[in-house]
Amino acid sequence: MNADRLPPVAPEVTATLVENLSPRLRKRLDAAVTKLGARTTRRDGDTVTIEVDDETELRLYAPGGVVATTDAITCGCLLAPACVHRAAAACAAPAADLAPEPVDQPTAEVPDPASVTGLASASAPAPASVTDPASATDRTPATDPASATNPASATDRAPLTGLAPTPALGSASSPEVASPDQRAAADALWSAGAAVLEAGVDGAGAVTQSALLRAAHTARLRQLPRAAGAALSVVTLLRAARAGDPSYRTADLVTALAELLGTAHRVRTVSGPELAAVRGRARRPYSPDGSLRLYGLFTEPVVTDSGHGGVRTWVAGSDGRLFTVGDVAPGGVGRALGVADRAVRLGDSALTHRELGRAGLAVAGATVSPDGRLGAGKGVKAVTARGAAWTEPPLAALWETPPSEQAARALRSVSRYADPDGGGSDLLFLDVELRGAVRESGGTCLLARCAGGVPVRLTVADDDPALAHRDNVALLAAAPGARLRIIGRLVPAPHPRLTLLACSHPSGEGTIDLGFDRLRRADLPDPTASAHLAPPRPGGAGAHSPLYLLERRVEQTVPAGRAALGMLGDVTAETRRIRRAGLPTAAGLLTALCASAARRDRDLFGRLLPADTDGFATYWLAAARYTAAVAESLCSAAWEPTQEGAR
């Protein structure tokens, strides 16, 4: 039985059913979920039936598509309703999206991710091993040549302590702080997330997941939708990992766990406008934006791991703002190819998505979501208008911003812990000179040089052979010296890297949607005319940073839990290498993380005391957020003009 065949179940329903099980049945729950997954299902309207055995059926009633109450799951076995089957069915089904709260919370700017380096002392007492006496001097301006040129050194020297004290509740002069109920909900979320780190994926079964779902439900009721959504994401990824879903990535679960723990921590410590951003808001409505004059840029195919397919067409306003018009639904790559030539769902326009990518629209009564999506409500009126070439205003201005500024803006948008309502685009608009193909561990990519002499690696946006991306990039790699105007999506990396989405036609006439249009060899300039080009010199400011030594320990914790990290033994050699690279805080975090994982105190009689899960979660969170902040710093620095390009 595929979990997608079952209707989504509300988090509180799953949590309640698991909590009502006896201790004996809780031990059998994971096995029951696996066994139930092998049974056949059938759907009849709003009811899905699972054949538990030849004589017993389990029913899930989902009016409106969601199982919203415990009574909506019934079982015909002799032990019902106290049987394990009802809880197993709820755990096997997808978790329903949390219902929106009636009160929208305002949003505010989220502080820089680097500030999380203060977490090491925020939730648990910091042991002396977090930093040694030498590291205190390491955080002064570095004299080591390696650290003097390391763009991460400024971030790395951030102290591990120093969070501002929380204002007292009820103070007339203090800014707004979280209510006692919200703090209690945040504590429950923290404990549930720490339990996942303690157990790892292998040990985070249905009971651990139900604790997260209960905490998520409570957080939603306490008007903490951002933290509740993070908990739900962790549950979804845990289930994908345990089911062997090929689309699962450990890095995604690391990010989700760090978002959950970080948000729960900040609910208890921040105040004022920052608290509004940490709370989040349940709804992200389309808001009126008046009349817009839009100019098409390009159309890209959208194909997701969940089996959805469609297109997204990018347009720009006369003021340079970017908007999208999308059409994505279940269907995969076949649907993406078909939808590209369907009419855009926006007002009375008869343009297809491909046509809109090269034409224009005049829109009245426009509505826009926080991430730039254009609404298609009944009040929206749109008519076809003249488009603009990439070299004409207002589109030409998109290519006039220096690459380093564009990369910094895009990096804020794709940051692992960016404000969900922050908006912004991850696209870069560059004029490049192609330099040829360059081999990497994951295959071959196209190397180019943009303004400032910055070498940029251009990769395939989607490797599906039904799309044109792969063949087009291979052809462009055979034309070194060609000068193109391109649009790409930033890939956070220690070196400048983009997925290539669209480019100007090599002949100078028109543009190419690289996912749909197919270049021909005759379209390319003669490669022999550029035989004098110097060989590509890939690399970047952080291309050889040893930050991965800390990153891999952070990731190793997630699959196997705290105990596995505690058995690593001495990490002195790793910390010494990290310090030589000018990253003393990273070395201190690695030492503290491994020491916390291995620490087990004993009582007066020599018996082992319970592990300090809160303390370990604090160090893990600090390490996860720190590595993300330094990685983003390295990425940003890599886009700065080179000395050769400056000349």
The C-alpha atoms of residue 93 and residue 36 are separated, in whole angstroms, by 11
Map 391-406 to HEC letters.
CCCCHHHHHCCCHHHH
- Quote the crossing angle between the two packed helices 572-580 and 584-598, to the nearest 10°: 160
pLDDT at 196: 96
Q: What is the pLDDT of residues 91-145, one digit of tens each?
A: 999 998 765 443 333 333 323 333 333 433 333 333 333 333 233 333 333 333 3
Residue 492 near residue 414, CB atoms below 8 Å: yes
Q: How far apart (Å, rounded) are the C-alpha atoms in residues 375 and 354?
A: 19
The Cα 184–Cα 218 span in angstroms is 9
Q: Which neighbouring-strand residues pair with 383?
A: 362
Tell me the DSSP string of 9-77: B-HHHHHHHHHTS-HHHHHTHHHHHHHHHTS-EEEETTEEEEE-SSS-EEEEE-GGGSB-SGGGEEE-S
Q: How far apart are CA 176 and CA 528, in angstroms?
A: 67
pLDDT at 523: 80
Q: What pLDDT, on the 0 to 100 scale, is given for residue 544?
A: 66
Helix H, strand E, coil C: the string for 60-111 is EECHHHCECCHHHEEECCCCCCCCHHHHHHHHHCCECCCCCCCCCCCCCCCC
Stretch (H or E) spanning 303 = strand 287-303
Helix (H) or strand (E) holding 434: strand 427-440
Contact predicate 446/500, CB 8 Å? yes
Query: Looking at residue 395, what is its pLDDT?
Result: 96
Would you state the pLDDT for residue 90?
Answer: 94
User: Order of strands, edge to edge, in the sheet holding 381-385?
Assistant: 322-330, 308-317, 287-303, 360-368, 381-385
Instruction: Tell me what pLDDT residue 362 has.
Output: 93
CA 513 to chain centre: 26
Tokens of 207: 């009971």
The whole-angstrom separation of Cα 174 and Cα 181 is 19
Would you say 445 and 437 are in contact if contact means Cβ atoms under 8 Å apart?
Answer: yes
In this predicted model, what pLDDT tens digit does every residue of 24-33 receive, in sequence order? 999 999 999 9
Residue stretches of the chain with pLDDT short of 50 = 100-173, 529-536, 538-542, 646-647
Question: In the prediction, which pLDDT does 543 show?
Answer: 52
561 Ramachandran zone, left/alpha/beta (phi>0; psi -120 to 50): left
Q: What is the pLDDT of residue 310?
A: 93
- pLDDT value for 166: 42
For 299, 430, 447, 482, 491, the CA distances from 502, given in Å and listed in that order, are: 8, 11, 16, 15, 16
Which of helix, strand or coil describes residue 238? helix
